[in-house]
Structure 1
């Protein structure tokens, strides 16, 4: 019996897996968080609960596609910044890995072990190449601050025979009802790598949804994504990036895309036109703002964190389709796994 054709590292609740599934890839995800694994299993996604460092490409001999979204906590601007401070060290480590140096001790010496996890997909890619079974396709995503790491990957993987494209994509330009920005890397063997072309207009504050005739679709608003659960107009009052300062809280109406969905989304207030509090977003609603299906079976503990850490499936579908050279299926926001 053949094994999976794609391996998803740091698989979370299934964003990349759902994207791969609609493109016909048979995926298996490796994820250590018990809650995310519970969600994955409830969604019927093949799952190994464990540490990606304990596995390698030899464990998945039939896999030709490597997917991954390493933990972002030490690189994101919302975190303490250990990864950003260690960026030069991480770039040096990538170069050392390209020379096949053993960097295990140097990675272990990093102040936060999560920082070193951003190099795990490179370990996998190089191990597969050394075994004579290189992955045909590599797809990675992270917060924008990790783009220099993906550019270092570009140098390493290009020397291994890959065509590589890396850049920062805006989720709303691919139909996700949210202005999330992600650093994406696509690497291909035997074909030219290119990032997917936007299908929707970028969100510009103060510019109406249909104001720009660009040949692209309008971006998707929160109100459109949640039309069947939020009938009356509402405004989201965000606590993201405020440091607890009420004066710094941003606001977006239901006629706009959501702010970046984070693990703290349950702290965001929802108010009506008169400023009265409405029920806060349910896990399903928060997931839909990430473009997960409305019926995605969020399970286990820390569901808010699962939602916030996830790759938006609709954005992922565009990226994976471009990576494997397949046309993007006709799916709408919130229906990436339909």
Structure 2
């Protein structure tokens, strides 16, 4: 069976890529114009804009809803920045934090068989767990879905330490198991380009700044600063801020040359995108887009298990105590 699915907060289509073998995308939505460029170059369609302006009834019928909804209101870095600026975060964030409820209104209207939501792992612990408690309550009690969640690290499939929460829900109370992910996987050296333009090498000024910044914080006992990558291991998490200085993932180039940033193609590989994935935008835009995207191989495995759960349609077994209680009541 082929499934119709929608791609909300689509970014550059990382989640869509994982579901393409199982059906057809009938609707996509993304507000960032540069991300739309990349999406259109690869999928031959331009996503709709701001989801808040999309009426739920106008969304095509679909079996599966996909959404990597904005994580800044819940991420550690996002919360810290907003707090320092005296701004609200989480559901109190008036622009991004409430976008979850746009997902909820579409689920309520269209009643898909299943959904997959992706976010930063801090979503589960944000505001002492209250934020996620609200999300679970909406999905389970108000919308009636059977919900599973798990924090998965992508480093067993791509050479990057990337922990994200994946929330899976089903209209029917079916069994679902998350895929097993190896603890260790490919090495960074496997995805690096052989020849790299010198424009990716840090300038003497920037390299001196990063070294002094790290030294200053080291004296204070903080771990802030750049990270030189190990070719035989995995990198730190690629983030949307990578375009600023590349400090979280710097590639060593020997003692006589400053380290360099990853190239956009290497960032694509770090996230598990296929080699033929087109990058039509500037390096700055590409860094933001891949930093905001998903580790595609992780989603591919989740997608496979979701389809298996839907087609198998095995009901959740009730605990023996609960079954005994029902028999007594009868």
Q: TM-score, normalised by structure 2?
A: 0.73
Over 3 Å counting, the alpha-carbon distance change for 1:255 and 1:65 in structure 2 is: same
Verify the 8 A CA contact 2:7 2:67 in the aligned structure 1: yes
Task: State the partner residue of 2:190.
Answer: 224
Moved more, 35-44 or 49-58: 49-58
State the SS of the aligned residue for 1:299: coil
Name the structure where helix makes up a greater proportion of residues: 2
Name the CA shift for 1:190/1:255 in 2 (closer, same or farther; >3 Å): same
Q: Which runs of 4+ in 1 moved over 6 A?
A: none
Structure-2 residue corresponding to 1:211: none
**Which SS does the other structure have where 1:287 is aligned?**
helix
Contact conserved, 2:73 with 2:89, CA < 8 A, in 1? no
In the alignment, is the contact (CA less than 8 A) between 1:33 and 1:49 conserved in 2? no
For 1:314, what is the secondary structure of its paired residue? helix
Q: How big is the alpha-carbon RMSD for the aligned residues of Structure 1 and Structure 2? A: 3.1
1:143 aligns with 2:120: yes
Partners of 1:261 and 1:181 in 2: how far apart? 11
User: Which residue matches 1:281?
Assistant: 262
Alpha-carbon displacement from aligned partner over 1:154-173 (angstroms, at most 9, x marks no partner): 33332343211012111113
Task: Confirm or deny: 8 A CA contact 1:167 1:183 kept in the other structure.
Answer: yes
Deviations 1:60-112 (A, max 9, x none): 3331111101112222222214699544xx3xxxxxxxxxxxxxxxxxxx454
2:328 aligned partner = none
Change (3 A) 1:277 1:23: farther
Instruction: Give the structure-1-normalised TM-score.
Output: 0.71
| 1:14/1:45 contact within 8 Å kept | no
Q: Is the 8 A contact 1:68 1:140 kept in 2?
A: yes
Does structure 1 residue 44 correspond to structure 2 residue 31? no
The 3 A distance-change label for structure 1 pair 222 and 28 is farther
Q: Contact 2:188 / 2:231 at 8 angstroms: preserved in 1?
A: yes
| Bigger mean CA deviation after superposition, 56-65 or 10-19 | 56-65
Q: Residue 27 of structure 2 contacts residue 60 of structure 2 at CA under 8 Å; is this kept in 1?
A: no
The structure number with the bigger radius of gyration is 2
Which residue of structure 2 aligns with residue 118 of structure 1? 100
Which structure exhibits the higher relative contact order, with contacts defined as CA atoms closer than 8 Å and separated by 6 or more residues? Answer: 1
Distance 1:45 1:142, change over 3 A: farther
Is the contact between residue 167 and residue 184 of structure 1 (CA under 8 Å) also seen in structure 2?
Answer: yes
Q: Are positions 1:296 and 2:277 aligned together?
A: yes
Deviation at 1:279, TM superposition (A): 4.5
CA distance in 1, matches of 2:176, 2:140: 14
1:71 lines up with 2:70 in the alignment: yes
Does the CA-based 8 Å contact 1:264-1:305 persist in structure 2?
yes
Q: Alignment partner of 1:249: what SS?
A: coil
| Secondary structure, aligned partner of 2:116 | strand
Gaps in structure 1 of 5+ consecutive residues: 91-109, 129-133, 202-217, 231-235, 328-338
Query: CA 1:118/1:307 → structure 2, altered by over 3 Å: closer, same or farther?
Result: same
